[in-house]
Amino acid sequence: MRRRDFVAGALGVTALGAGAAYSRMQGDESVKPVEVETLDAPGSEEGVAQVPRRGEVTFVEFFATWCTVCEGMMDEVAKAHGEVGDGVQFLSVSNEPVGHTVTRDEVADWWRENGGSWTVGVDGDLRLTETLDAAGVPTTVVVDARNRVVSSGTGRKTADEIVGSIESAL
């Protein structure tokens, strides 16, 4: 194979991958709902939630009980939750290996201790984590009513940043 053909092929594959990633970030691709186990904790009921729910803007915060940044961000997420109200599917999800390094009760206890007051769930099989491409914690993701990702980012966020991301999806 000639070097020029190889380089052209490699550039084509790179462009295709970059185009797919750009398309995903621009919200051109709809994500399929995933069932997430929800916990009995303040603001949350034990059960299952479909995430995201078509027809409703969804905010998801991925966290871990060992993450000090996640703990420090709880007040900001709580403020954002208070500002956006009930018209948005709003939840925080631990993607820790529940049953191995942490229990459901420990996640619920952490939730109580840190002032959580909205739906909290666990993603033990990492289906939601993979679907929304949450590479680390904390990661926040906003999905619009047509199930397109409109905002995604890892690291500490302020309430204003969270609310701004949600408002851009309304």
pLDDT tens readout for residues 130-161:
999 999 999 999 999 999 999 999 999 999 99
pLDDT digits over 126-138, tens only? 999 999 999 999 9
Question: Is residue 39 domain-shared with residue 98, that is, in the same domain?
Answer: yes
pLDDT score, position 86: 84
CA atoms of 122 and 62, how far apart (whole Å): 9
How far is the C-alpha of 43 from the C-alpha of 16, rounded, in Å? Answer: 43
- What are the residue ranges of helices labelled H in the chain? 3-25, 68-84, 104-113, 127-131, 159-169
Among 3-12, 44-53, 150-159, the least confident range: 3-12
Q: Are residues 96 and 152 in the same domain?
A: yes
CA-based torsion, 112, 128, 151, 143: positive or negative: negative
- The CATH number that applies at residue 151 is 3.40.30.10
Q: Distances in Å between the alpha carbon of 26 and those of 14, 20, 139, 142?
A: 18, 10, 17, 12
Domain count, the chain: 2
Give residue 131's domain range.
31-169
